[in-house]
Structure 1
Amino acid sequence: MKKMNNIKKLVIAALMAALTAVATMAIQIPSPLHGYVHLGDSLVLLCGIVLGPLGGALAAAIGSMMADLLTGYFIYAPATLVIKGLAAFAAGLVFSGLAKSAKVQVNRYAAVVISGISSAVIVILGYFVYEIFLYGVPAAAANTIFNAVQGIFGIIGAFVLFPLLSKVPDIRDMLNMPHITPKKSAN
Protein backbone atom coordinates (compact mmCIF):
# COMPACT_ATOMS: atom_id res chain seq x y z
CA MET A 1 0.00 0.00 0.00
CA LYS A 2 2.82 2.43 0.87
CA LYS A 3 4.53 1.63 -2.45
CA MET A 4 1.30 2.44 -4.31
CA ASN A 5 1.00 5.77 -2.44
CA ASN A 6 4.59 6.63 -3.36
CA ILE A 7 3.90 5.84 -7.01
CA LYS A 8 0.74 7.99 -6.94
CA LYS A 9 2.66 10.87 -5.39
CA LEU A 10 5.41 10.53 -8.02
CA VAL A 11 2.83 10.51 -10.83
CA ILE A 12 1.05 13.54 -9.39
CA ALA A 13 4.41 15.34 -9.03
CA ALA A 14 5.27 14.61 -12.67
CA LEU A 15 1.83 15.77 -13.75
CA MET A 16 2.17 18.97 -11.70
CA ALA A 17 5.59 19.66 -13.27
CA ALA A 18 4.12 19.16 -16.75
CA LEU A 19 1.11 21.36 -15.97
CA THR A 20 3.45 24.04 -14.61
CA ALA A 21 5.39 24.02 -17.88
CA VAL A 22 2.22 24.14 -19.98
CA ALA A 23 0.65 26.93 -17.90
CA THR A 24 3.89 28.90 -18.16
CA MET A 25 4.09 28.45 -21.93
CA ALA A 26 0.40 28.81 -22.83
CA ILE A 27 0.14 32.58 -22.49
CA GLN A 28 3.35 34.59 -22.42
CA ILE A 29 3.20 38.36 -22.29
CA PRO A 30 6.71 39.72 -22.92
CA SER A 31 8.17 42.11 -20.35
CA PRO A 32 10.66 44.84 -21.23
CA LEU A 33 13.66 42.84 -19.96
CA HIS A 34 13.39 39.81 -22.21
CA GLY A 35 11.29 37.91 -19.66
CA TYR A 36 7.56 37.31 -19.75
CA VAL A 37 4.46 37.37 -17.58
CA HIS A 38 2.55 34.07 -17.50
CA LEU A 39 0.02 32.01 -15.55
CA GLY A 40 2.47 29.33 -14.45
CA ASP A 41 2.94 30.78 -10.98
CA SER A 42 -0.50 29.51 -10.01
CA LEU A 43 0.83 26.00 -10.62
CA VAL A 44 4.11 26.77 -8.85
CA LEU A 45 2.06 27.73 -5.80
CA LEU A 46 -0.15 24.64 -6.09
CA CYS A 47 2.91 22.40 -6.43
CA GLY A 48 4.07 23.54 -3.00
CA ILE A 49 0.60 23.22 -1.49
CA VAL A 50 -0.27 19.81 -2.93
CA LEU A 51 3.13 18.10 -2.88
CA GLY A 52 4.57 19.76 0.20
CA PRO A 53 7.76 21.81 0.40
CA LEU A 54 10.29 19.38 -1.06
CA GLY A 55 8.17 17.61 -3.69
CA GLY A 56 6.57 20.91 -4.66
CA ALA A 57 9.93 22.60 -5.02
CA LEU A 58 11.20 19.89 -7.34
CA ALA A 59 8.07 19.79 -9.52
CA ALA A 60 7.76 23.59 -9.76
CA ALA A 61 11.46 24.10 -10.43
CA ILE A 62 11.63 21.47 -13.15
CA GLY A 63 8.35 22.48 -14.82
CA SER A 64 9.17 26.19 -14.80
CA MET A 65 12.73 25.69 -16.03
CA MET A 66 11.51 23.41 -18.83
CA ALA A 67 9.15 26.18 -19.96
CA ASP A 68 12.07 28.61 -20.16
CA LEU A 69 14.15 26.12 -22.13
CA LEU A 70 11.34 25.14 -24.50
CA THR A 71 10.40 28.74 -25.29
CA GLY A 72 13.92 30.08 -25.80
CA TYR A 73 14.43 31.96 -22.53
CA PHE A 74 17.69 30.13 -21.85
CA ILE A 75 19.24 33.00 -19.91
CA TYR A 76 16.50 32.72 -17.26
CA ALA A 77 16.50 28.92 -16.93
CA PRO A 78 19.12 28.62 -14.13
CA ALA A 79 17.50 31.39 -12.09
CA THR A 80 14.04 29.98 -12.70
CA LEU A 81 15.12 26.56 -11.45
CA VAL A 82 16.23 28.06 -8.13
CA ILE A 83 13.65 30.83 -7.73
CA LYS A 84 10.54 28.80 -8.58
CA GLY A 85 11.82 25.92 -6.47
CA LEU A 86 12.27 28.25 -3.49
CA ALA A 87 8.86 29.82 -4.13
CA ALA A 88 7.09 26.45 -4.10
CA PHE A 89 9.12 25.34 -1.06
CA ALA A 90 8.04 28.44 0.86
CA ALA A 91 4.42 28.06 -0.25
CA GLY A 92 4.40 24.46 0.92
CA LEU A 93 5.90 25.36 4.29
CA VAL A 94 3.55 28.27 4.90
CA PHE A 95 0.45 26.39 3.74
CA SER A 96 1.14 23.28 5.79
CA GLY A 97 2.05 25.38 8.82
CA LEU A 98 -1.15 27.41 8.61
CA ALA A 99 -3.45 24.55 7.65
CA LYS A 100 -2.24 22.24 10.42
CA SER A 101 -1.75 24.76 13.20
CA ALA A 102 -4.10 24.31 16.12
CA LYS A 103 -3.20 27.76 17.46
CA VAL A 104 -4.04 29.65 14.31
CA GLN A 105 -7.49 28.95 12.94
CA VAL A 106 -6.90 29.77 9.28
CA ASN A 107 -9.21 28.46 6.65
CA ARG A 108 -7.42 26.59 3.88
CA TYR A 109 -8.38 29.15 1.24
CA ALA A 110 -6.86 31.95 3.31
CA ALA A 111 -3.79 29.72 3.69
CA VAL A 112 -3.59 29.52 -0.13
CA VAL A 113 -3.55 33.32 -0.35
CA ILE A 114 -1.03 33.78 2.47
CA SER A 115 1.29 31.10 1.05
CA GLY A 116 0.85 32.73 -2.36
CA ILE A 117 2.04 36.04 -0.99
CA SER A 118 5.18 34.42 0.44
CA SER A 119 5.78 32.69 -2.88
CA ALA A 120 5.30 35.90 -4.87
CA VAL A 121 7.72 37.81 -2.64
CA ILE A 122 10.40 35.19 -3.31
CA VAL A 123 9.80 35.38 -7.07
CA ILE A 124 9.91 39.18 -7.09
CA LEU A 125 13.07 39.39 -4.99
CA GLY A 126 14.74 36.44 -6.72
CA TYR A 127 14.36 37.82 -10.22
CA PHE A 128 15.23 41.33 -9.01
CA VAL A 129 18.59 40.07 -7.73
CA TYR A 130 19.21 37.96 -10.84
CA GLU A 131 18.32 40.79 -13.21
CA ILE A 132 20.63 43.21 -11.39
CA PHE A 133 23.51 41.08 -12.70
CA LEU A 134 22.00 40.94 -16.18
CA TYR A 135 20.70 44.48 -16.69
CA GLY A 136 21.58 46.69 -13.69
CA VAL A 137 19.52 48.00 -10.79
CA PRO A 138 17.19 50.45 -12.61
CA ALA A 139 16.04 47.91 -15.19
CA ALA A 140 15.72 45.13 -12.60
CA ALA A 141 13.67 47.43 -10.38
CA ALA A 142 11.37 48.29 -13.29
CA ASN A 143 10.75 44.61 -13.97
CA THR A 144 9.56 44.00 -10.39
CA ILE A 145 6.22 45.49 -11.46
CA PHE A 146 5.73 42.72 -14.00
CA ASN A 147 6.78 40.07 -11.50
CA ALA A 148 4.31 41.50 -8.97
CA VAL A 149 1.48 41.37 -11.52
CA GLN A 150 2.44 37.78 -12.30
CA GLY A 151 2.40 36.99 -8.58
CA ILE A 152 -1.09 38.44 -8.19
CA PHE A 153 -2.41 36.41 -11.12
CA GLY A 154 -0.66 33.34 -9.70
CA ILE A 155 -2.44 33.76 -6.37
CA ILE A 156 -5.80 34.29 -8.07
CA GLY A 157 -5.27 31.23 -10.29
CA ALA A 158 -4.27 29.05 -7.35
CA PHE A 159 -7.25 30.29 -5.33
CA VAL A 160 -9.59 29.33 -8.20
CA LEU A 161 -7.95 25.94 -8.88
CA PHE A 162 -7.47 24.87 -5.24
CA PRO A 163 -11.12 23.89 -4.61
CA LEU A 164 -11.17 21.90 -7.83
CA LEU A 165 -7.97 20.02 -6.96
CA SER A 166 -9.26 19.45 -3.43
CA LYS A 167 -12.07 17.33 -4.86
CA VAL A 168 -9.67 14.86 -6.50
CA PRO A 169 -9.48 11.96 -4.02
CA ASP A 170 -5.74 11.32 -4.30
CA ILE A 171 -4.91 15.01 -3.98
CA ARG A 172 -7.38 15.40 -1.11
CA ASP A 173 -5.56 12.53 0.63
CA MET A 174 -2.22 14.22 0.03
CA LEU A 175 -3.60 17.41 1.53
CA ASN A 176 -5.00 15.38 4.42
CA MET A 177 -8.41 16.86 3.73
CA PRO A 178 -10.91 14.03 4.26
CA HIS A 179 -13.59 16.52 5.30
CA ILE A 180 -13.86 17.97 1.80
CA THR A 181 -16.00 15.62 -0.21
CA PRO A 182 -17.78 16.07 -3.51
CA LYS A 183 -21.46 16.96 -3.14
CA LYS A 184 -23.80 14.05 -3.61
CA SER A 185 -26.62 14.39 -6.05
CA ALA A 186 -30.19 14.49 -4.79
CA ASN A 187 -31.13 11.46 -6.92
Structure 2
Amino acid sequence: MKSMGTKKIVYGAFMASLITVATMVIHIPSAFNGYIHLGDGLVLISGILLGPMTGGISAGIGSMMADFLSGYAFYAPATLIIKALASFFSGYLYQRLIKRSGIVSFRLVPFISSGLTCSTIVTGGYFLFECVVYGKSAALLNIPLNLVQNSFSLLIAGTLLPFLLRRNELRSLVLKKDYEE
Protein backbone atom coordinates (compact mmCIF):
# COMPACT_ATOMS: atom_id res chain seq x y z
CA MET A 1 0.00 0.00 0.00
CA LYS A 2 2.77 2.48 0.88
CA SER A 3 4.54 1.55 -2.34
CA MET A 4 1.61 2.90 -4.38
CA GLY A 5 1.64 6.15 -2.38
CA THR A 6 5.34 6.62 -3.05
CA LYS A 7 4.84 5.88 -6.74
CA LYS A 8 2.08 8.46 -6.97
CA ILE A 9 4.31 11.09 -5.37
CA VAL A 10 7.11 10.29 -7.81
CA TYR A 11 4.75 10.28 -10.79
CA GLY A 12 3.21 13.52 -9.52
CA ALA A 13 6.59 15.25 -9.35
CA PHE A 14 7.52 13.88 -12.77
CA MET A 15 4.20 15.07 -14.22
CA ALA A 16 4.68 18.55 -12.72
CA SER A 17 8.05 18.80 -14.44
CA LEU A 18 6.63 17.55 -17.74
CA ILE A 19 3.85 20.13 -17.54
CA THR A 20 6.41 22.87 -16.90
CA VAL A 21 8.48 21.82 -19.91
CA ALA A 22 5.48 21.31 -22.22
CA THR A 23 4.19 24.74 -21.28
CA MET A 24 7.54 26.39 -21.98
CA VAL A 25 8.64 24.57 -25.16
CA ILE A 26 5.97 25.87 -27.53
CA HIS A 27 5.25 29.32 -26.24
CA ILE A 28 3.20 31.69 -28.40
CA PRO A 29 2.45 35.05 -26.71
CA SER A 30 -1.16 36.23 -26.78
CA ALA A 31 -2.95 39.38 -25.76
CA PHE A 32 -2.59 40.70 -22.18
CA ASN A 33 0.57 38.89 -21.10
CA GLY A 34 -0.78 35.38 -21.67
CA TYR A 35 0.53 32.73 -24.02
CA ILE A 36 -0.62 29.71 -25.98
CA HIS A 37 1.11 26.41 -25.10
CA LEU A 38 0.61 22.64 -25.04
CA GLY A 39 0.90 22.16 -21.29
CA ASP A 40 -2.86 21.97 -20.80
CA GLY A 41 -2.90 18.61 -22.56
CA LEU A 42 -0.71 17.30 -19.77
CA VAL A 43 -2.85 19.07 -17.17
CA LEU A 44 -5.74 16.92 -18.40
CA ILE A 45 -3.62 13.77 -18.53
CA SER A 46 -2.34 14.47 -15.02
CA GLY A 47 -5.86 14.46 -13.59
CA ILE A 48 -6.82 11.33 -15.50
CA LEU A 49 -3.72 9.26 -14.74
CA LEU A 50 -2.89 10.41 -11.23
CA GLY A 51 -6.38 11.04 -9.93
CA PRO A 52 -7.98 14.29 -8.83
CA MET A 53 -5.79 15.16 -5.83
CA THR A 54 -2.33 14.15 -7.02
CA GLY A 55 -3.10 15.20 -10.59
CA GLY A 56 -4.48 18.55 -9.48
CA ILE A 57 -1.48 19.33 -7.29
CA SER A 58 0.93 18.31 -10.06
CA ALA A 59 -0.89 20.34 -12.69
CA GLY A 60 -1.11 23.43 -10.51
CA ILE A 61 2.54 23.35 -9.47
CA GLY A 62 3.86 22.49 -12.93
CA SER A 63 1.85 25.23 -14.64
CA MET A 64 2.73 27.78 -11.99
CA MET A 65 6.44 26.97 -12.32
CA ALA A 66 6.21 27.55 -16.07
CA ASP A 67 4.75 30.99 -15.41
CA PHE A 68 7.56 31.83 -13.00
CA LEU A 69 10.29 30.56 -15.31
CA SER A 70 8.81 32.26 -18.38
CA GLY A 71 8.51 35.71 -16.83
CA TYR A 72 4.75 35.57 -16.20
CA ALA A 73 4.96 35.61 -12.39
CA PHE A 74 1.95 37.92 -12.23
CA TYR A 75 -0.20 35.05 -13.53
CA ALA A 76 1.38 32.37 -11.32
CA PRO A 77 -1.06 32.46 -8.35
CA ALA A 78 -4.08 32.37 -10.66
CA THR A 79 -2.48 29.63 -12.75
CA LEU A 80 -1.83 27.49 -9.68
CA ILE A 81 -5.51 27.61 -8.71
CA ILE A 82 -7.01 27.39 -12.20
CA LYS A 83 -4.88 24.48 -13.44
CA ALA A 84 -5.20 22.58 -10.16
CA LEU A 85 -9.00 22.89 -10.31
CA ALA A 86 -9.09 21.96 -14.00
CA SER A 87 -7.02 18.81 -13.43
CA PHE A 88 -8.90 17.92 -10.24
CA PHE A 89 -12.38 18.11 -11.75
CA SER A 90 -11.46 16.54 -15.09
CA GLY A 91 -9.70 13.67 -13.29
CA TYR A 92 -12.63 13.22 -10.93
CA LEU A 93 -15.12 13.14 -13.80
CA TYR A 94 -13.02 10.68 -15.80
CA GLN A 95 -12.75 8.33 -12.82
CA ARG A 96 -16.48 8.49 -12.17
CA LEU A 97 -17.33 7.77 -15.79
CA ILE A 98 -14.96 4.84 -16.29
CA LYS A 99 -15.68 3.33 -12.87
CA ARG A 100 -19.05 2.19 -14.17
CA SER A 101 -17.43 0.04 -16.85
CA GLY A 102 -14.61 -1.21 -14.61
CA ILE A 103 -12.27 -1.32 -17.61
CA VAL A 104 -9.27 0.99 -17.55
CA SER A 105 -8.50 1.88 -21.14
CA PHE A 106 -9.02 4.91 -23.33
CA ARG A 107 -12.71 5.74 -23.47
CA LEU A 108 -13.77 8.47 -25.87
CA VAL A 109 -16.88 9.78 -24.07
CA PRO A 110 -15.21 10.08 -20.63
CA PHE A 111 -12.17 11.65 -22.28
CA ILE A 112 -14.19 14.25 -24.19
CA SER A 113 -16.33 15.00 -21.12
CA SER A 114 -13.22 15.44 -18.99
CA GLY A 115 -11.48 17.47 -21.66
CA LEU A 116 -14.40 19.84 -22.03
CA THR A 117 -14.55 20.21 -18.25
CA CYS A 118 -10.83 21.01 -18.13
CA SER A 119 -11.14 23.50 -21.01
CA THR A 120 -14.15 25.21 -19.47
CA ILE A 121 -12.42 25.66 -16.12
CA VAL A 122 -9.22 26.99 -17.72
CA THR A 123 -11.01 29.39 -20.06
CA GLY A 124 -13.50 30.51 -17.40
CA GLY A 125 -10.86 30.84 -14.72
CA TYR A 126 -8.60 33.03 -16.80
CA PHE A 127 -11.60 35.04 -17.99
CA LEU A 128 -12.57 35.80 -14.38
CA PHE A 129 -8.98 36.64 -13.44
CA GLU A 130 -8.55 38.92 -16.44
CA CYS A 131 -11.92 40.59 -15.79
CA VAL A 132 -10.64 41.64 -12.39
CA VAL A 133 -7.23 42.72 -13.70
CA TYR A 134 -7.99 44.16 -17.17
CA GLY A 135 -11.76 44.56 -17.29
CA LYS A 136 -14.50 42.56 -19.00
CA SER A 137 -14.09 43.80 -22.57
CA ALA A 138 -10.34 43.17 -22.53
CA ALA A 139 -10.79 39.72 -20.98
CA LEU A 140 -13.20 38.78 -23.77
CA LEU A 141 -10.38 39.19 -26.29
CA ASN A 142 -8.45 36.28 -24.77
CA ILE A 143 -11.32 33.77 -24.95
CA PRO A 144 -10.74 32.81 -28.62
CA LEU A 145 -7.02 32.31 -27.94
CA ASN A 146 -7.80 30.15 -24.91
CA LEU A 147 -10.16 28.07 -27.03
CA VAL A 148 -7.43 27.54 -29.65
CA GLN A 149 -5.04 26.47 -26.90
CA ASN A 150 -7.66 24.13 -25.47
CA SER A 151 -8.27 22.54 -28.87
CA PHE A 152 -4.59 21.76 -29.34
CA SER A 153 -4.35 20.49 -25.78
CA LEU A 154 -7.27 18.10 -26.31
CA LEU A 155 -5.63 16.86 -29.49
CA ILE A 156 -2.32 16.26 -27.69
CA ALA A 157 -3.98 14.56 -24.70
CA GLY A 158 -6.23 12.47 -26.93
CA THR A 159 -3.21 11.30 -28.89
CA LEU A 160 -1.00 10.48 -25.88
CA LEU A 161 -3.53 9.02 -23.44
CA PRO A 162 -4.35 5.79 -25.35
CA PHE A 163 -0.65 4.93 -25.44
CA LEU A 164 -0.10 5.81 -21.81
CA LEU A 165 -3.06 3.70 -20.68
CA ARG A 166 -1.52 0.65 -22.35
CA ARG A 167 1.19 0.65 -19.67
CA ASN A 168 0.15 -1.53 -16.73
CA GLU A 169 2.06 0.69 -14.31
CA LEU A 170 0.10 3.78 -15.37
CA ARG A 171 -3.20 1.97 -15.78
CA SER A 172 -2.98 0.79 -12.16
CA LEU A 173 -2.89 4.43 -11.00
CA VAL A 174 -6.11 5.45 -12.73
CA LEU A 175 -8.66 3.89 -10.40
CA LYS A 176 -6.46 4.17 -7.32
CA LYS A 177 -8.04 6.83 -5.16
CA ASP A 178 -5.78 9.44 -3.62
CA TYR A 179 -7.20 8.96 -0.14
CA GLU A 180 -6.74 5.17 -0.10
CA GLU A 181 -2.95 5.44 0.09
Q: Which residue of 1 aligns with 2:3?
A: 4
Paired residues of 2:51 and 2:175 also in contact (CA < 8 A): no
Contact 2:15 2:59 (C-alpha < 8 Å) held by counterparts:
yes
Q: Distance in 2 between matches of 1:131 and 1:176?
A: 36
Partner in structure 2 of residue 185 of structure 1: none
The CA distance in 2 between the partners of 1:141 and 1:24, in whole Å, is 22
TM-score (norm: length of structure 1)? 0.88
Which whole-Å CA distance do the structure 2 matches of 1:170 and 1:176 have between them?
Answer: 12
Per-residue deviation, 1:112 = 1.3
CA distance in 2, matches of 1:17, 1:164: 19
Given the alignment of the two structures, is residue 19 of structure 1 paired with residue 18 of structure 2, yes or no?
Answer: yes
> In 1, distance between residues paired with 2:96 and 2:171?
17
- Aligned-pair identity (%): 46
Farther-moved stretch of structure 1 (159-168 vs 37-46): 159-168
- Segments of structure 1 that go 5 or more residues without pairing to the other structure are 178-187
Matches within 5 A, 1:1-187: 2-101=1-100, 108-176=107-175
| SS of match in other structure, 1:59 | helix
Shift of 1:150: 1.0
Offset, 1:176:
4.5
Alpha carbons 2:44, 2:86 under 8 Å: kept: yes
Q: Deviations 1:154-181 (Å, cap 9, x if unpaired)? A: 111110010121122210111259xxxx
Deviation at 1:110, TM superposition (A): 2.4
Say which SS state the counterpart of residue 5 (structure 1) adopts.
helix
Q: Give the aligned residue type for 1:69.
A: F
Query: Which is worse superposed, 6-15 or 74-83?
Result: 6-15
RMSD in angstroms over aligned alpha carbons?
1.6
Contact residue 112 and residue 158 of structure 1 kept, 8 A: no
The number of residue pairs the alignment matches comes to 173
Superimposed CA distance per residue, residues 20-75 of structure 1 (whole angstroms, 9 cap, x where no aligned partner): 11100010110011100000000000010011111111000000000000010011
Amino acid at match of 1:19: L
Bigger radius of gyration among the two: 1
Question: Could you tell me whether the CA contact under 8 Å between 1:60 and 1:88 is conserved in 2?
Answer: yes
Q: How far off its partner does 1:124 sit?
A: 0.6
Is there any run of 5+ residues in structure 2 with no aligned partner, and where? 177-181
SS in 2 for 1:34: coil
- 2-structure distance, mates of 1:10, 1:167: 21
Give the counterpart letter for 2:8 in structure 1: K
CA distance in 1, matches of 2:92, 2:3: 25
In structure 2, the residue matched to 1:180 is none
